[in-house]
Amino acid sequence: MTSDEEIQEEILGELCELFEEKPGNLDLDGQSVVENVKDSLGVDENEVVYNIKRLNDNFVIDHTQTIGGVGMISLEVRGIEKYEELSENNVVPSKDIRRVINLLYKNERDSPQSPALSRDELLDETDLSENSLDRVIWYIKEKGWADVLTHIGTPWYANAKITAAGRSIHESMQ
């Protein structure tokens, strides 16, 4: 019998895989996630829906149920952390987080009047791929470590600057 932990890992794996392809806030059709997990693990649909509700209760995903359907699911930052814990996969590598936090911190110290760095500046300075940088920026924004100027479209943000919480994280990494 498949455990709840295995089902939750598979649900989060589906969401993280899509997040890796297209970083940012994603609202996904819950029914397609249920079908994929059900087919992948050979479990009953009710088992998958039950575990979606448990993940939502623990603030790992955001699940908005609809009448007569599964509804929409979106990944929360705690979902990435939970998936990394369960699977030992690295969705947002800590070395990339440190690199971006360090850069934002340094820029604020060097330019306190205009501490934000544009996406292009971040790409140039970090040598990360667009997808890797976008995952890190989403992650540190959701953690409250950076203020990010967002907009509609692709890319989904224009610039980022470190917050007080981000400075504390930077100082604890030293």
Distances, alpha carbon 2 to alpha carbons 33, 47, 78, in Å? 17, 9, 23
State residue 120's pLDDT score: 94
Which residues is 148 bridged to in the sheet?
Answer: 160
133-149 pLDDT, tens digit each: 999 999 999 999 999 99
Torsion of CA 92, 96, 97, 103, to 10 degrees: -150
Residue 23 has pLDDT above 90, yes or no: no
Which domains are delineated in the chain?
4-87 (1.10.10.10), 94-173 (1.10.10.10)
For the whole model, what pTM was predicted? 0.88
State residue 168's pLDDT score: 95
Phi, psi (deg, nearest 5) at residue 44: -70, 145
State residue 67's pLDDT score: 82
For CA atoms 33, 35, 41, 44, give the dihedral sign: positive
Contact 146, 140 (CB under 8 A): yes
